[in-house]
């Protein structure tokens, strides 16, 4: 790392750790712990395209949130994931074009410069979200595959983690542009970028050779302009997607919550749309949502966490109720925030 880059990254770290969360209490007891649950640590891991550092927030106590930043060699990063079994945080480096895994993540002091303990090959062009199933790490790449901007396409890079390496197993080319991805069991949900669409690949990892693959089903999410982030909670069968709206505006983003998601999905034919009446939508000036590019969900506390790239924010909402133009309960600055991942252990 050059002296200039290191100085810039350290300055960014100082600015980050100097800014405290603004957080409001929630009076709804149904959204918090009753006191009978086992104590767990809840952390929100984030990446960004400003300096490539990993920042995680301890959100176990929403009234006392702390931040830790790990300085990496990357200068831009996107999808992020935390493996609690090995205390390793993994992100997709947009500057290094590879997956990188950092060990002993939660035992490092804030401001520590970390070196990747698990390295990946530099296969990607424009990596975005990461989805994990066992030892398989799938990365969505939204670069133009065929060099023709008039045709929509993307790639899903499938890596296997073993013996300190991320090894590329195979690559799947899609007939649509990609952004957010998430597993539901063996099925992969993939955002159809530049649209309000969602693609479903059944038994995705069974596709073990390089191939061009069409989705098992594609649906639309009513009232979304341009989908980016997606998460799915199997415990409550809840899907949450983000809408960045017009990417140039930065004030028209939204969050779309769909309960009983698999029931609705299974009942839909290919090409059908989930109407806005079957969704809870958070949107409006008070939400501070501009370009929400990624989302995570804590179903136990009914808290939604969002990375907003345009406004450079990590936001949280735990008063989701019936949605609407509601203010976030957490509002923290993180320049060019790109991804979030929630871990409870």
The CATH number linked to 281 is: 2.120.10.30
> What residues make up the domain containing 339?
217-345
Pair type for strands 337-344 and 211-212: unpaired
What is the maximum span of the chain, computed from C-alpha positions, in angstroms? 57
Q: Is the CB of residue 10 less than 8 Å from the CB of residue 296?
A: no
In a domain, 309, yes or no: yes
Number of domains into which the chain is organized: 1
In a domain, 52, yes or no: no
Give dist(CA 53, CA 89) in Å, integer: 11
In a domain, 344, yes or no: yes
pLDDT score at 39: 58
Nearest partner of 69 among 3, 12, 7, 22, judged by Cα? 12
pLDDT score at 24: 34
Nearest partner of 214 among 176, 250, 183, judged by Cα? 176
In a domain, 106, yes or no: no
pLDDT score at 193: 97
Torsion angle, CA of 332/190/222/265, rounded to 10 degrees? -120
pLDDT score at 108: 97
Residues paired with 45 in a beta bridge: 56, 341
Place of tokens 């023709």: 148
Place of tokens 């990188």: 100
Give dist(CA 141, CA 155) in Å, integer: 5
Pair type for strands 178-184 and 187-192: antiparallel
Give dist(CA 302, CA 281) in Å, integer: 14
Q: Is the CB of residue 340 less than 8 Å from the CB of residue 330?
A: no
Report the predicted TM-score, pTM, of the whole model to 2 decimal places: 0.90
pLDDT score at 7: 41
- Provide the token pair at 79: 């999808």
In a domain, 335, yes or no: yes
In a domain, 196, yes or no: no
List the chain pLDDT tens, one digit each, 345 residues: 444 444 445 444 444 443 344 333 333 333 334 444 555 899 999 999 999 999 999 999 999 999 999 999 999 999 999 999 999 999 999 999 999 999 999 999 999 999 999 999 999 999 999 999 999 999 999 999 999 999 999 999 999 999 899 999 999 999 999 999 999 999 999 999 999 999 999 999 999 999 999 999 999 999 999 999 999 999 999 999 999 999 889 899 999 999 999 999 999 999 999 999 999 999 999 999 999 999 999 999 999 999 999 999 999 999 999 999 999 999 999 999 999 999 998
In a domain, 40, yes or no: no
Give dist(CA 323, CA 306) in Å, integer: 15
pLDDT score at 38: 57
In a domain, 65, yes or no: no
């Amino acid at each position: 790392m050059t002296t200039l880059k290191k100085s810039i990254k350290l300055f960014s770290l100082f600015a980050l750790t100097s800014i405290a969360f603004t957080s409001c209490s929630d009076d709804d007891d149904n959204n918090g712990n009753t006191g009978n649950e086992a104590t767990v640590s809840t952390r929100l891991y984030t990446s960004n395209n400003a300096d490539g550092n990993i920042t995680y927030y301890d959100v176990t106590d929403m009234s006392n949130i702390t931040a830790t930043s790990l300085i990496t060699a990357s200068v831009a990063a996107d999808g992020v994931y935390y493996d609690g079994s090995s205390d390793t945080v993994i992100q997709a480096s947009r500057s290094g074009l590879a997956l990188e895994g950092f060990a002993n993540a939660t035992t490092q002091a804030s401001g520590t410069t970390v070196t990747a303990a698990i390295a990946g090959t530099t296969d990607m062009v424009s990596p975005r979200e990461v989805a994990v199933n066992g030892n398989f790490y799938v990365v969505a790449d939204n670069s133009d595959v065929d060099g023709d901007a008039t045709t929509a396409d993307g790639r899903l890079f499938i890596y296997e983690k073993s013996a300190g390496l991320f090894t590329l197993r195979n690559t799947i080319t899609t007939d649509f542009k990609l952004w957010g991805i998430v597993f539901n069991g063996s099925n992969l949900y993939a955002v159809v970028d530049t649209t309000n669409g969602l693609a479903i690949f059944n038994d995705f990892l069974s596709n073990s050779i390089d191939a061009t693959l069409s989705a098992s089903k594609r649906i639309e999410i009513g009232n979304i302009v341009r989908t980016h982030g997606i998460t799915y909670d199997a415990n409550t069968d809840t899907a949450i997607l983000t809408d960045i709206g017009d990417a140039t505006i930065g004030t028209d983003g939204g969050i779309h919550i769909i309960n009983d998601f698999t029931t609705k999905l299974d009942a839909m034919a290919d090409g059908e749309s989930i109407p806005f009446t079957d969704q809870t939508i958070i949107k409006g000036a008070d939400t501070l949502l501009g370009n929400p590019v990624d989302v995570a969900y804590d179903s136990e506390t009914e808290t939604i966490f969002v990375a907003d790239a345009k406004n450079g924010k990590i936001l949280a909402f735990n008063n989701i109720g019936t949605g609407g133009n509601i203010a976030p309960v957490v509002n923290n600055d993180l320049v060019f925030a790109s991804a979030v991942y929630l871990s409870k252990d």
